[in-house]
Each structure stands twice: as C-alpha cells, then as structure tokens.
Amino acid sequence: DAARGWEPLGLGMGTYKSTLPPEMAKVIWDDMVLARQQGVILSDPLHLLYLCTPFDRTKEPAWWAFASLFSRFSRDRHLVAERVGVEERSVALKAQGRALKRCAGTVLFERSARRLYAAMILDAVMNETPANDITRMFNDSSSSVVPSSNKVPANLVDRGYLEDLQNNA
C-alpha cells in the first residue's frame, strides 16, 4: 500500500509475477545482481546460458566428463566458470571421487557446478551437436547401463534429459 509507505521490491514483484517458488526466485535474483555487478561475459554464450538455465532441473554432473571438458575451456569459459563460482580444482577433486569440505560455499559450488554443466549441455544443443555426440561428451565411461542391474545412472545425459533442459531453459 503506497499510502502507508509499503511498496513491493523488485524481487517480490518478480517472484509474484513469475510464480517461481521464493527460494528459487532468490537464487535467480542473487545471480542476476552478481552478473550486473561483475558484468556478463558476452564473448561466449555460456554465461548467458548459465543465467537462463533452471537450477532445479539439473543433474549431478558426470564429474570425469566435466573435468575433461573443463580442462579444455577457452580463457573466456574459464572466466565464466570463475564468475559463477566453479573452480577447476574443485571439479577435479569431485572427478577423483574426493569429498569437498562441507561448508556454505560447498553447497553453492555444487549448485553452480550442476547449473554450469547443464548450460554446457545446452550450448552443445544450441550449436546443433548431434544428440549421440552430446551423450558421449557429457557421460563418463562409467555412466552406462550396468547389464546385471539394468539401472540407469542418475547423472546419465540422455535424449529425455536434453529435451527437458531445452523445454525449461
């Protein structure tokens, strides 16, 4: 009520109009504020894709595949990863199966890493990379169906996941 001096903030209006859950809206708001303060890296589409990638639809990365791709990043992609809080060292530790020390930063890193990984997949889709090549690029060699159990790993990048990412980005 403007007469009493109460007005909704941008975050509140955005949350209300978007119908996003408040906790998701807060994360997106924080990312946008940070991008506005530090600047969006426009020399590579990865930063914009990251900002558009829904973090609630992301899977645990295939860490070996992620580390392998990360090691071949261009300078601009390294800057994007740095801006969003994903360090190559942490990705390498996860790829080795080593646990990161539990702290508030670890939770943020894992959420940002999942989202960056999904943005990388979307980048491959955007560049019209064939789906079979994308699944090869983004899956560990260990991320295959185990014949004895017939269980599909939770982090497997398959056509269904690609379609879900495309539809929700």
Closest CA to 169 of 132, 102, 123: 123
Check residue 56 and report its DSSP letter: G
Helix (H) or strand (E) holding 132: helix 131-137
Give Cα 159 distance to the centre of its chain.
18
Q: What is the pTM of this model?
A: 0.76
The C-alpha atoms of residue 43 and residue 61 are separated, in whole angstroms, by 25
List the pLDDT tens digit at each of the 169 positions of the chain: 456 777 777 777 777 777 777 888 788 888 888 899 999 999 999 999 998 887 777 778 899 999 999 999 999 999 999 999 999 999 999 999 888 777 767 888 888 999 999 999 989 988 988 888 888 888 855 444 333 444 444 555 666 767 776 676 6
Distances (CA, A) of 66 to 9, 51, 89, 128, 151: 38, 19, 12, 20, 22
Helix axes 88-95, 104-126, angle to 10 degrees: 90
Total residues found in the chain within this entry: 169
Strands in the chain per DSSP E: none
